[in-house]
Amino acid sequence: MVKTLPLGDQQVPVPGFGAMGLNSAMGTDLNLEQSEPVLLKAIELGCTFWDTAVAYKNGENEKLLGEFIKKYTVRDKLFVASKCGFDFVEPPHQRATVLSLSCLFFWNRYLTLHLEDTPLEQSIGALDEIRRAGKTKYIGLSECSAATLRKANAIAKIDAVQAEYSAFETLHETTGLIETAKELGVAFVAFSPLGHGWLVDDFPFESPDDFAPNDFRRTVPKFQGENFYKNKTIVDEIKKLAARKGCTTAQIGLAWVAAQGLITIPGTTKALRLEENWASRDIELTEDELKEMRKIVDAAKPVGERFSPIFQSMVGH
Ligand SMILES: NC(=O)c1ccc[n+]([C@@H]2O[C@H](COP(=O)([O-])OP(=O)(O)OC[C@H]3O[C@@H](n4cnc5c(N)ncnc54)[C@H](OP(=O)(O)O)[C@@H]3O)[C@@H](O)[C@H]2O)c1
């Protein structure tokens, strides 16, 4: 049963909450009023490690959280992580810059940087300066290589790295990123811990054409053409294990990631699902169940790239 995990000098409640899908990337565009049920549920339960980014709907996702935090005066209850470094205003969104730091709002306590072509000494130096000035408590990187993490950590202490990890996508077991983070004492924040919605009991999409026009999964090879149908079957064995365990597929998927010491940030737009995901922290996986999960995960690897070509070219540096 993993209920908290270390990040810097504190323990954060696990699972956290990924806010991206509230109004960006996943075909949903909720306003403040529509977001309130899920956000209030998170506060009520103590699910207070939240993730956002400047790039999510060009700052609107941060703004939405900001409006909520202000309205309910919950700033002191939350640990909000945001990511910056994308020049999201000028296509093709590739130029790395710390200029977008100016878009960060006051409540951020943990700041991550997507690296592109800015020299590491400059970007990490800038983040460290912000930390020293007390404007953020922690700094980190997102989807970088293991070598970059090591180099960055030698420039200034890196508190966290965020990268994709789930029972559906275990790539970073082979890139060395997880291992390196553990060795350096850097918290690993596992994004898309439900495989962008696949590791659940009721994935609602029957074909790639079912995604909304503005759903980024339409652009992701893993969710396109034949890959869609091949990958959809991956969760079948996990579903069976969850049913035997008496929990949901999402819960066993989240508990499995947390059991490895990685902080999950599942996203949902629904209060009931947040409750379901939060309850994954009450699940204890036995040695046998962990072994069975490992066997299933190793036998079933997804096909297709994780991102569209332009985003794929931006990760792993
Ligand atoms: N650093 C990066 O580059 C990066 C990239 C992607 C994401 N992220 C972060 O990671 C967070 C999570 O990633 P994600 O949203 O891509 O993927 P995810 O958390 O793996 O999956 C989210 C999807 O699963 C559905 N879902 C959630 N709980 C469910 C449940 N119990 N039963 C059924 N369906 C469920 C949600 O739909 P409903 O809303 O309908 O519940 C949503 O479509 C994001 O919010 C973002 O903060 C970071």
Span from the CA of 79 to the centroid of ligand 1 (angstroms): 18
224 has pLDDT over 80: yes
Q: Is the CB of 268 under 6 A from ligand 1?
A: yes
pLDDT band at 282 (very low <50, low <70, confident <90, very high): very high
Q: Higher confidence at residue 63 or residue 104?
A: 63
pLDDT band at 259 (very low <50, low <70, confident <90, very high): very high
- The alpha carbon of residue 196 and the mean position of all alpha carbons in its chain are separated, in whole angstroms, by 10
The structural domains of the chain, ordered by start, are: 4-312 (3.20.20.100)
293 has pLDDT over 50: yes
Give the integer Cα–Cα distance in Å for 107 and 225. 42
Atom 5, ligand 1: residue with shortest CA distance: 191
pTM confidence score: 0.94
pLDDT at position 165: 98
Q: Return the residue matching tokens 């998927």.
A: 253
Question: CA separation (Å) from 120 to 127, 144, 182, 270?
Answer: 10, 11, 21, 38
Q: Is the CB of 265 under 6 A from ligand 1?
A: yes
pLDDT at position 312: 81
Q: Is the CB of 200 under 6 A from ligand 1?
A: yes
Question: In degrees to the nearest 10, what's the CA dihedral of 243, 248, 251, 255?
Answer: 0
pLDDT at position 108: 43
pLDDT at position 202: 93
109 has pLDDT over 70: no
| Averaged pLDDT, 113-122 | 70
Q: Higher confidence at residue 44 or residue 80?
A: 44
8 has pLDDT over 50: yes
Of 29-33, 119-123, 246-250, give the lowest mean pLDDT range. 119-123
Q: What is the mean pLDDT of the chain?
A: 89
Give the integer Cα–Cα distance in Å for 75 and 66. 9
